[in-house]
Structure 1
Amino acid sequence: MNRLLSPEAKESFLAAWHREKGLSGNALKMIACVFMFFDHMSQGVALNSLGFTPAYVVNSWGIPVLSGLPTASLLATIATLAGRIAFPIFCFFLVQGVLLSGDYKKQIQRLLLFAFIAEVPFDLGLFGQIFYWDHQNVLFELAMGAATIVGMKKILDGDKKRKQAYAAALFIAAAILAEVLKFDYGLAGIIAMVLFYLVCNDRRRTMVMGIFAFLFEAPLYGTVYLSLPLIYQYNGKRGRGGRWFFYIFYPAHLLALYFISLII
C-alpha cells in the first residue's frame, strides 16, 4: 500500500487544517500559477527584446536597487519580486499531497514525467535554447522533495536505531544532489520542503517555519513572505478543478511564452 498515512491519521491531519472559510487547495494553486506566469514572463525571453528585463543590480545587503531603473525594467523587476509568492505555495502543497496521497509512488512518477516533458519548454521559454544544461525546471525539484519526504517519514516511522541520523543523512544527500544537478532552487528548495514537512500538521507552526524556510529569498524585499498569509487561509479542502491542470499548465505556459517571443 503506497500511502504514508492511515485513514485515521489522514482524518486527523485534515482536521488540523480544516476551517469553515478560507481558500481551497486548488484556489491557492491557481493563485500560485498566476504569480509564476508573471515571474517567468519577466525573466524569460518573451519580453526581453522590448527591454522588460529584471534589474540584477543589488546593494551591499543583497537587495535589488529599484531607483533609477527604466520603466520597462522596473515593471519586470516588480513582476519577478511578486513571483516569489509562487514557490512556497507549491512547496506547501507538495508536502500536503505526498502525505494525503493514496499512492505516493504515482505522484512522484507524475512529477518526473512532467519534469521531463517540461524541460524543453522551460529551456526555450527562459533561455531561448532547446537544451540548457545549467538549470533544470522546478518539477525535478518537487519530485526530489517528494521522494525525500517519503524516505524520511518511512525511516522515522520505523524501528531502526539512530533513525534520526539516517533521516538527516537522506535529507543532506537529497539537498546536495539537487544542487549538483542544478534543479531550480537547488538545496534551498529541498530544505524549505523538509521544514514544511516537519510542522505539517500545525497551521501556526507552518507560518513560523515558513519564515526560516525562505530566508534565502528574504533580501528580495521580503515578497516571498506574502505567500504565508495565503497559505494560512487554506481550508483543508481540494476545491474545484482537476489535478491534471497544474501539471499541464507548467510546460504549456512556458511554451506559450516562447512563442510570444517569436512573434514580437
Structure 2
Amino acid sequence: MFKKGLTGFQIKLIALFLMIFDHVHYFFAFTNQVPLWFTWIGRVVAPIFIFMVVEGFIHTRNRSKYMGRLYMGSLIMFFSNQWITKWFQRGDNVALMANIFATLFLITVYLTIIDYLGKGIKERRIMPIVLGILGLVLPVGLGIFMMMNLHIPGMIYAMFLLPTPMIVEGGPVFVGLGILFYLSRDKKALQLTLYALVSIALIPWQNLSLQGLFYDNFQWLMIGALPFLALYNGQRGKGMKYLFYVFYPLHIYGLYILSTFFV
C-alpha cells in the first residue's frame, strides 16, 4: 500500500544527487570556480546513507550477506584508491581517501554486537555480556594502536582490513550516529530529536561567527538531512539495491581522474 512521504529508494536518489555536488567541490575546489555551497549541501549525504544502512540492517533477510557486501565494497574501494592514484596522479598530491563503505560496514558490526549484548543482558548470561562489552571497546583500542604504530610495515593495510572508529570516514561521530539510529529505531520522534541534538553539538560554539559556522567548521549543516529522515515512510520503494555500490565509486573515480587534467 502506498504511504505518504519518501521511500528508501527516493531518499537514496536524493542523497546520490547531492553527493555529486559535494565531490565536485572536493576534487575541483582548487580551481576556485566551484562554490562552497556545493559542499554545504553535501553534509546531509553521509547521515542519510547511515540511516538507510541501519534500515537495511534491520529489514534484510540475511545480515551476514548484507555486511559482506559492505565489507567487500570497502576492500574494493581501498585497493582501487591505491591503484588509481598510482596511475592518475595529481600535481597537488590530493589524497583519494573516500571509502564510506568501511564506515557503513563498521556500523553494522557494532549493531550486531549490540544485539548480542542485549540478548546476553536479557537472558542474564555473564559471558555474552562480557564479550559484548569487549566487542564494543576492542575496535577503539585497536584503532588507537594502529594510529600509534603507522611505522610498522603493512600497518596501513591492516587499518583498512580491520576498520575501526578511529580511522574510518567520519570517525566516531558517524559510527555513533548509526548506533543512535538503531537504538531509537522504534521511536521516530526521539530518533529525530537525538539527530538534531548531535548536529547542534557539532556547531563550533567557541567561534559563533559566519567564518566559524560556514567556512571553518560546517559539519553541523548535516542537520539539513532532518526533513528527509522525517519524511521516510518506512517503505523500501523500487529495487536497484546495487545502484549505490556501483555509482558511489564510479562517480568518485570519474571526477578524480577528470581533475588530474586540470591541476
- Shorter-chain TM-score category? 0.7 to 0.9
Any conservation in 2 of the 1:179–1:187 contact (CA below 8 Å)?
yes
What is residue 32 of structure 2 aligned with on the other side? 51
Q: Distance in 1 between matches of 2:13 and 2:77?
A: 18
What is residue 20 of structure 1 aligned with on the other side? 3
SS at match of 1:247: helix
Q: Structure 1 pair 107/138, CA: closer, same or farther in 2 (3 Å)? A: same
How far off its partner does 1:242 sit? Answer: 0.7
What is residue 256 of structure 1 aligned with on the other side? 254
Q: Distance in 1 between matches of 2:79 and 2:89?
A: 8
CA RMSD for the aligned pairs?
A: 3.0
SS at match of 1:115: helix
Q: Structure 1 pair 193/165, CA: closer, same or farther in 2 (3 Å)? A: farther
Alignment of 1:202-241 (within 5 A): 202-215=187-200, 217-219=202-204, 220=218, 222-241=220-239
Percent same amino acid at aligned positions?
23
Q: Structure 1 pair 164/225, CA: closer, same or farther in 2 (3 Å)? A: farther
Q: Deviations over 1:180-225 (max 9, x none)?
A: 4x21011111111111111011211110111234456444274211
User: For structure 1, which segment, 167-176 or 253-262, has the greater mean C-alpha deviation from structure 2 after superposition?
Assistant: 167-176
What is residue 60 of structure 2 aligned with on the other side? 101
User: Please, what TM-score do these two structures have when normalized by structure 2?
Assistant: 0.73
Runs (4+) of structure 1 moved beyond 4 Å? 120-125, 128-136, 162-169
What is residue 80 of structure 1 aligned with on the other side? 39
Q: Distance in 2 between matches of 1:212 and 1:167?
A: 27
Q: Deviations over 1:34-68 (max 9, x none)?
A: 22221111112xx244224xxxxxxxxxxxxxxxx
How far off its partner does 1:167 sit? Answer: 4.3
Match of residue 115, structure 2, among 150, 153, 159: 153
Identify the structure with the greater helix proportion: 2
Match of residue 180, structure 2, among 167, 180, 195: 195
Q: Deviations over 1:61-113 (max 9, x none)?
A: xxxxxxxxxxx4xx1x2111111111111111111111111111111110111
What is residue 147 of structure 2 aligned with on the other side? none
Any conservation in 1 of the 2:81–2:97 contact (CA below 8 Å)?
no
How many equivalent pairs are there?
A: 220
Q: Distance in 2 between matches of 1:25 and 1:142?
A: 16
Q: Structure 1 pair 166/90, CA: closer, same or farther in 2 (3 Å)? A: same
Q: Structure 1 pair 216/109, CA: closer, same or farther in 2 (3 Å)? A: farther
Q: Report whether the alignment pairs 1:185 with 2:150.
A: no
Q: Distance in 2 between matches of 1:227 and 1:205?
A: 15
What is residue 153 of structure 2 aligned with on the other side? none
User: Please, what TM-score do these two structures have when normalized by structure 1?
Assistant: 0.73
Q: Structure 1 pair 240/82, CA: closer, same or farther in 2 (3 Å)? A: same
Q: Distance in 1 between matches of 2:21 and 2:61?
A: 33
AA partner of residue 246 (structure 2):
I
Any conservation in 2 of the 1:95–1:197 contact (CA below 8 Å)?
yes
Any conservation in 2 of the 1:175–1:186 contact (CA below 8 Å)?
no
Q: Which runs of 5+ in 2 are unaligned?
A: 144-163, 205-217
User: For structure 1, which segment, 196-205 or 213-222, has the greater mean C-alpha deviation from structure 2 after superposition?
Assistant: 213-222
Q: Structure 1 pair 221/146, CA: closer, same or farther in 2 (3 Å)? A: closer
